[in-house]
């Protein structure tokens, strides 16, 4: 029994000793991980944004011209067929087919209307002839009556005054009848002519409509206007135009042919970083499809007005980055990672951002391994590191975060406090526009 107790005690002591040694080793390892060395060298300040490749220039593949008629221009035509996106085409190659069903039915109806109107005008011409021919004959005959009365009057000059007077009255009466017939003929003739004109005008309108529809339908088979790769057009909501989408007279583009020799990465920069971006800045570009291959670029344009993208509440500004040269690997819609080089400092002293602490008086400092609480003058920073303009030299070992017993560290570098305060004063004045 005693032997068992002794063995148990020895085992417990051994386990305790092993745990103690392990904690010591672990504590030592953890302590070593709290330090870092002040670095010296090139310091790059950049803004990293995700973008999408688009062609700087492109040719639109459009549907037919809808003409000037409102009833045709207001139509939305469905895309019935469309070749796959990314297809390489030559000029004149088939690209898409539009749905003809609705317009072909309309064309059929208009042809029937035109045929009916043409039959009506022929009937109207016949009716006009039936109405006006007797009136024209009556006028012609009345002129003969007048002529005969005039001869009678001429031959009666040797007759008695009564006979002469009777002949004059007959001549005047015949003339009045002619005038009455002529007055009656004019409105009837004008009415018939107006009816025929209206019929011709209606025929002209329907004929033009038939012609417009025929010409429009001829363009429903869409071909490529040039050589290139077919890329589907994006609509204003961001969806791609595909089979089942519609086009109209206001937007006839079915697809586009991008110029692959000049590509742009379209990005959106947050409003907090947009002030750093300037036109002409250099950009390092990588493409998700080829992560090991890098490309150079420059900032081409910066939007003056911000916008909100879908499913986000932050305001962003569109920035276009032009890729340098051309590469057959680059294709529209590829995702890019763009590192916009805002500033490069050739010989900078810097530390990780988490090394720097700031007191309530806005004075920044770091803790060094030799037990100092070193006041520092800060410079530019990037997403990981911050430049130390004064207070540290390269090679110094500093804490990555707050050490234990910070009250034991010696405060040094107090001579930098006036310089730091003056720097803050300049920054506030610059920000306020003074």
On whether both 198 and 173 belong to a single domain, the answer is yes
- Per residue in 226-262, pLDDT (tens digit) is 988 899 988 877 788 999 999 888 889 999 999 888 8
pLDDT at residue 29 above 50? no
The answer to whether residue 289 sits within a structural domain is: yes
> Which H, E and C letters describe the chain, residue by residue?
CHHHHHHHHHHHHHHHHHHHHHHHHHHHHHHHCCEEECEEEEEEEEEEEEEEEEECCEEEEECCCCCCCHHHHCCEEEEEEECCCCCEECCCCEEEEECCHHHHHHHHHHHHHHHHHHHHHHHHHHHHHHHHHHHHHHHHHHHHHHHHHHHHHHHHHHCCHHHHHHHHHHHHHHHHHHHHHHHHHHHHHHHHHHHHHHHHHHHHHHHHHHHHHHHHHHCCEEECCCCEECEECECCCCCECCCCCEEECCECEEEEEECCCCEEEEEEEECCCHHHCCCCCEEEEEECCEEEEEEEEEEEEECCCCEECCCCCCEEEEEEEEECCCCCCCCCCCEEEEEEEEEEEEEEEEEEHHHCEECCCCCEEEEECCCEEEECEEEEECCCEEEEEECCCCCCEEECCCCCCHHHCEEECHHHHHHHHHHHHHHHHHHHCC
On whether both 146 and 290 belong to a single domain, the answer is no
On whether both 147 and 233 belong to a single domain, the answer is no
- Per residue in 308-324, pLDDT (tens digit) is 877 777 889 999 999 98
On whether both 229 and 91 belong to a single domain, the answer is yes
On whether both 141 and 88 belong to a single domain, the answer is no
The answer to whether residue 26 sits within a structural domain is: no
On whether both 232 and 310 belong to a single domain, the answer is no
Does this model's pTM top 0.75? My answer is no
Mean of per-residue pLDDT scores for the chain: 85
- Per residue in 380-401, pLDDT (tens digit) is 998 899 999 999 999 999 999 8
On whether both 111 and 203 belong to a single domain, the answer is yes
pLDDT at site 71: 64
pLDDT at site 223: 94
The answer to whether residue 266 sits within a structural domain is: yes
Share of the chain above pLDDT 90, in %: 41
On whether both 146 and 92 belong to a single domain, the answer is no
Report the CATH number that the domain containing residue 81 is assigned in CATH: 2.40.50
- Per residue in 271-312, pLDDT (tens digit) is 989 999 999 999 999 999 888 888 999 999 999 998 887 777
The answer to whether residue 29 sits within a structural domain is: no
On whether both 94 and 110 belong to a single domain, the answer is no
pLDDT at residue 9 above 80? no
pLDDT at site 320: 95
- Per residue in 40-85, pLDDT (tens digit) is 999 999 999 999 998 888 899 998 887 666 666 667 889 999 999 9
pLDDT at residue 2 above 80? no
On whether both 136 and 180 belong to a single domain, the answer is yes
On whether both 306 and 239 belong to a single domain, the answer is no
The answer to whether residue 349 sits within a structural domain is: no
Q: Domain of residue 270: give its range.
A: 47-55+258-344
On whether both 114 and 188 belong to a single domain, the answer is yes
- Among 344, 374, 397, give the residue marking a domain's end: 344
- Per residue in 122-174, pLDDT (tens digit) is 888 887 888 888 888 888 898 888 888 888 888 888 888 888 888 889 889 98
The answer to whether residue 269 sits within a structural domain is: yes
Report the CATH number that the domain containing residue 337 is assigned in CATH: 2.40.30.170
- Among 319, 344, 369, give the residue marking a domain's end: 344
- Among 313, 344, 375, give the residue marking a domain's end: 344
pLDDT at site 74: 65
Q: How many domains does the chain have?
A: 3
pLDDT at residue 8 above 70? no
């Amino acid at each position: 029994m005693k032997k068992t107790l002794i063995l148990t005690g020895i085992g417990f002591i051994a386990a305790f000793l092993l745990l103690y040694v392990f904690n010591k080793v672990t504590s030592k390892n953890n302590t070593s991980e709290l330090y870092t060395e002040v670095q010296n060298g090139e310091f790059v300040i950049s803004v990293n944004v995700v973008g999408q490749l688009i062609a700087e220039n492109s040719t639109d593949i459009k549907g037919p011209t809808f003409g000037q008629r409102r009833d045709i221009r207001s139509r939305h035509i469905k895309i019935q067929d469309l070749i796959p996106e990314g297809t390489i085409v030559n000029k004149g190659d088939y690209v898409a087919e539009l749905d003809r069903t609705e317009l072909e039915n309309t064309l059929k109806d208009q042809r029937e209307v035109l045929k009916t109107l043409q039959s009506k005008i022929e009937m109207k011409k016949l009716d006009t002839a039936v109405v006006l021919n007797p009136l024209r004959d009556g006028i012609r005959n009345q002129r003969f009556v007048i002529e005969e009365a005039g001869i009678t009057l001429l031959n009666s000059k040797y007759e008695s005054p009564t006979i002469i007077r009777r002949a004059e009255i007959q001549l005047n009466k015949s003339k009045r009848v002619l005038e009455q017939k002529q007055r009656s003929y004019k409105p009837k003739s004008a009415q018939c002519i107006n009816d025929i004109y209206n019929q011709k005008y209606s025929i002209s309108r329907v004929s033009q409509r038939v012609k417009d529809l025929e010409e429009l339908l001829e363009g429903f088979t869409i071909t490529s206007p040039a050589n290139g790769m077919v890329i589907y057009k994006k609509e204003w909501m961001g969806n791609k135009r595909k089979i089942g989408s519609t086009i109209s007279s206001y937007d006839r583009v079915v697809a586009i042919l991008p110029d692959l020799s000049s590509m742009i990465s379209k990005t959106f920069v947050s409003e907090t970083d947009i002030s750093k971006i300037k036109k002409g800045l250099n950009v390092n570009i990588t493409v998700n499809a080829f992560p090991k291959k890098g490309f150079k670029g420059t900032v081409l344009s910066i939007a003056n007005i911000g916008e909100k993208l879908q499913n986000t509440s932050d305001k962003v500004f569109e920035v276009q980055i032009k890729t340098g040269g051309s590469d057959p690997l680059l294709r529209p819609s590829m995702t890019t990672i763009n590192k916009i080089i805002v500033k490069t400092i050739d010989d900078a002293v810097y530390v990780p951002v988490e090394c720097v602490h700031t007191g309530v008086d806005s004075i920044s400092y770091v803790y060094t391994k030799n037990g100092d609480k070193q006041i520092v003058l800060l410079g530019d920073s990037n997403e990981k590191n911050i430049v130390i303009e004064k207070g540290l030299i390269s090679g110094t070992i500093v804490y990555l975060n707050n050490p234990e017993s910070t009250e034991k560290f010696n405060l040094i570098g107090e001579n930098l406090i006036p310089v730091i305060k003056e720097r803050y004063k300049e920054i506030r004045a610059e920000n306020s526009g003074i």
